[in-house]
Structures are given as structure tokens and as C-alpha cells.
Structure 1
Amino acid sequence: MNVTFEQQSVIVTGAAHGFGRAIALAFAQRGAVVWACDVQEERLHETAHLARQGATPLHTRAVDVTSRDAVQALVDGVQQHTGRVDVLVNNAGGVLGQVGRPIEAITPQDWHAIFQVNVDGAFYCAQAVAPIMKQQGRGRIINISSGAGLGISLTGIQAYASAKAAQIGLTRQLAHELGEWGITVNNVAPGFVRSNPTTEKQWESYGEDGQRRLLQNIALKRLGSPEDIAHAVLFFASDYAGWVTGQVLSVDGGK
């Protein structure tokens, strides 16, 4: 299957490392005009450096997706530059450094912070690109959730599991709302992947026994990579998924 995105305009949030970086690079390697966005500017420069090394340069923008105004400014800039937005990948999110604690220890600020980046951010980005995609009569929105949104969070973080479940609900709702304009909205739910400093700490915290148990619970008996997640995104963004919308694809090695 030869998947290309020649001259398509693609926005990827949370592109400073991990899944977002792999997704941004994958689109750039296939001819897309990529806008890689994140709040971590220094690590975003690393993403751009890797793209240049592969002779597939991309644009970078420092954007806080929890700010509706910042998101709208980003999308306005992309439209002015390319005249269109073909693909939006809502990857920004995570646990923001939080760890699992009893529910009675969770502050309102902790709870809302995770919802803001994982749910509000995806909503603001989709809201900003929707009018452009409607005018085009075509578009692809892909949200990156987590196995935690379909089951439970391995870290025990209540807000993360809840926010990812909410993001999946948003995916299904927008698929029905936007479908008549040729816009598909789908979701990739990754399993545990060692993709960034947070997941590295999580992996180390399990110890040898815990790591062995985690692998034994995976059908393929191995961890995946950020590229595995990127490949699922490429499918949803491609013409091969033209009649696929409102779906959640678990990319987790089999549970």
C-alpha cells in the first residue's frame, strides 16, 4: 500500500517528542506540508532537525492548545500559507507530570488541567479547522487517545482515563456532525509505548517483574514503537480510509 500526501496541509499537535514527532515526520516523509506544534519549543526544534536530516523539512509552531485564541491563530496562519487544511492530528495531551493518587487527594486544578490539554485542546483544534474542511468538502481529523480511555489507566490517574474516554466520545460525535461535508473523524488508542520521559519513568517503576507481566499481557509479547502509532494515523488520513469514520483503533499489540 503506497500512501502519499503530496502537498497536503497537515497539522500535528504535541509534536515535540514521542507519538507526535513520529506522526509529523511520517507525514513529511510522504510529501505533506506539515505544521508540527507543541509548547516545548526546544524539543520541537529537535523534531525539525530530524526532518531536515531526512530531507523532509517541516514547519514548527509554539502553540498551547488549551488556548482557543492560540489555536485559532495557528489555523489562520496555516490557511493563509497553504490555502487549506487537509489533516488535523490531535496528539497533544498526557498526564502533565501527575502520578496516581487516591481520589480524595486530587485537587480541582489537577483534574481540570488534564482535561484542558487532552479534551479542550482537541475540541478547540477541531472547531478551528472545521469551517475550512467544510468549505473544501473534505478533511481528516484523527484524535490520539489511549487504551486508558477504553479501560483503565495503568497509572491510576482518574482524570487521564476520564479525559481520554471523553475524547473518544468527541470523536464519535464529530464524525456524525461533520460527515456530510466529507470529513472523517477517527481515533487511535495506543497501548503502552516507551515514547517519552513520562513513559520511561513508568516503565522503570514496574521493575523487572512488572515489566515481564506487562509483556505477557500483550498478544505479540513485545512493546510497540511511536512509528506503529504513526502508521495507524497514516491509514486514517489516507484515501484507503475514505469510508471509515467514528472509529477507535486500538494499537496495542493485542489485548
Structure 2
Amino acid sequence: MQNPFDYSHRTVLVTGAAQGFGRAICLAFAQRGARVIACDIQKHLVEETAALCGETALAYEVDISSPEAISVLFSSLEARHLSVDTLVNNAGGVVGQQGQPLEEVTFAQWQAIVAVNLNGAFLMSQAAVVGMKAHKFGRIINISSRAGLDISLTGIQAYASAKAGQIGLTRQLAHELGPWNITVNNVAPGFIRSNPSTEKQWEAMGSEGQKRLIDNIALKRLGVAEDIAHAVLYFASDWANWVTGQILSVDGGK
């Protein structure tokens, strides 16, 4: 029987690949044979990710909120005769912001979070889908958050809204792209200490807040970045050939 988790025939592009979920996802695919294209605005860290993934991996410094930058990226891939068949829209986060009252939020702050969390997923999918349609095969996996299904622990209105919007985009694209054998699914992680931002959140909770968070998780422990990578592997695999438009919460149980 063919191994459903053999990705030696796949070219996988992961955004937000410099650290955390993105790096874990890149490594999970690379370890199973995929050609990995790691993208992030943090040049040195994304190059480090690509180096960890092996000789065939590529690193690109890309601002996924910029249509022009994405056009340059895909032109470069085309010049290398590379066609992306698996896209993981992982880039996101709170871009250094903290929760504040609605009336104090500036429009620029709102736009900055929406740009990377929602616009980026739209723009990357739009660019990648051209090649996927041509080959009548594709896998798009968006990484949202429990914040898109419930409320955000950060208290940041734009973050919760953008992640909810990304979930809506997932469902809509699943129906639009299905005729080309392109599936579109979404992983919604719970709180995981995976990058400097989440470490700051964890510290800000204090011991009582940390205990309260863990007590509200069915499994009574935090997850790790690899838990998210494993969910992505499933959606990209042959085992998920008839699964599309779905949101998988990976949060230890709520």
C-alpha cells in the first residue's frame, strides 16, 4: 500500500516559516520527502528553516501582504520551473500589538493585522491556484486560530476578526475550487508557546492565568508546534482526498 504521507512528489510552500508553527510544518514535510519553499519577512530565520529542511529547500524573504512581492515570488518560482501544489497559509499574528479598548484602536493598527492574517491568505491562494488549476490538483491549508471560532485571548479585535474571515475564506474557496480537485481546509490552533509573541502572552498571564488556561483544556496541558504540523500533514495527504472546507480545532479539547 502506498504511504499516504509520502510527499516526495510534492512542492510545498509555507508562509510564516521563520519559526514556530511554520518551521515545524516545513520540517514535517521535508522529513517526508517534500520540496519545501519557506517564506517569511524574517530573512535570516527563514534561511535557517530552509537549511534545516535540506539541500532542496528554498528560502524567500516575502511580505505576503504585498501583491507586488507575491508576484515577484511566483515569477521566481516559475523561472525555476517550480509549481506549488500544496500551500500552507501560516503567516499571521498580532504584529506586535496588544489588546486595547475599541475606541483607542487606530485604523492603521486594524489594517496591519488584517493585512497579514487575511489579505495574505487571499493573495497567496490567488497566486498559487493558477498552477493548481492547470494541474487539476492542489491542497490549500490555512492556519487560523481558536480566536476565529471563539474570542481572542489577546483581546485584539482585528485578530479575532481576521481569523474568522480566514475561516470564511476557507469555506468559500473550497466550493469554488473543488471542480479542479483543489481542497481547501483550515487548522485552528489553541494557545501554544511557539514564538516570542506567545511567550510574552504566557508571561503576561502570570501563574494564576496560566493555571486557569490549562484547567480549561480537556487534556490539561499545552500543545506543541508539531501538533499543528501533524494536522496540516493530514489535510495535505491522500487520506484527506474527500475532505474540504473543514476547520479542525487542534487545542487539546475545549
Scaled by the length of structure 2, what TM-score is found? 0.96
Shift of the alpha carbon at 1:49?
Answer: 3.5
Q: Give the corresponding residue for 1:173.
A: 172
1:237 lines up with 2:236 in the alignment: yes
Please, which moves more after superposition, 80-89 or 202-211? Answer: 80-89
Counterpart of 1:67, as a letter, is S
Aligned residues: 252
Please, which moves more after superposition, 66-75 or 188-197? Answer: 66-75
For 1:1-255, list aligned pairs within 5 A.
Answer: 3-52=5-54, 57-255=56-254
Q: Is the CA contact 2:51–2:57 (under 8 Å) kept in the aligned structure 1? A: no
Instruction: Go from structure 1 to structure 2 and tell me whether the alpha carbon gap of 1:204 and 1:216 turns closer, same or farther (over 3 Å shift).
Output: same
The CA distance in 2 between the partners of 1:236 and 1:51, in whole Å, is 20
Shift of the alpha carbon at 1:46?
Answer: 2.4
Counterpart of 1:32, as a letter, is A
Q: What do the CA deviations read for 1:19-39 (whole angstroms, capped 9, x no partner)?
A: 001001111111111100000
Q: Is the CA contact 1:9–1:82 (under 8 Å) kept in the aligned structure 2? A: no
Gaps of 5+ in 1: none
- % identity of equivalent residues: 63
Shift of the alpha carbon at 1:2?
Answer: 5.3
Report the 3-state secondary structure (helix = DSSP H, G, I; strand = E; otherwise coil) of the residue aligned with 1:61.
strand
Shift of the alpha carbon at 1:4?
Answer: 1.2
Q: What do the CA deviations read for 1:124-150 (whole angstroms, capped 9, x no partner)?
A: 100001111011000000000000000
The CA distance in 2 between the partners of 1:115 and 1:136, in whole Å, is 31
Cα RMSD of the aligned pairs, angstroms, is 1.2
Shift of the alpha carbon at 1:50?
Answer: 2.6
Q: What do the CA deviations read for 1:1-29 (whole angstroms, capped 9, x no partner)?
A: 75110031110000000000100111111
Shift of the alpha carbon at 1:83?
Answer: 4.0
Q: What do the CA deviations read for 1:169-224 (whole angstroms, capped 9, x no partner)?
A: 00000000000000000000000000000000100111111111100100000000
The CA distance in 2 between the partners of 1:129 and 1:2, in whole Å, is 23
Counterpart of 2:43, as a letter, is E
Shift of the alpha carbon at 1:47?
Answer: 1.3
Report the 3-state secondary structure (helix = DSSP H, G, I; strand = E; otherwise coil) of the residue aligned with 1:143.
strand
Q: Is the CA contact 2:192–2:198 (under 8 Å) kept in the aligned structure 1? A: yes
Scaled by the length of structure 1, what TM-score is found? 0.96
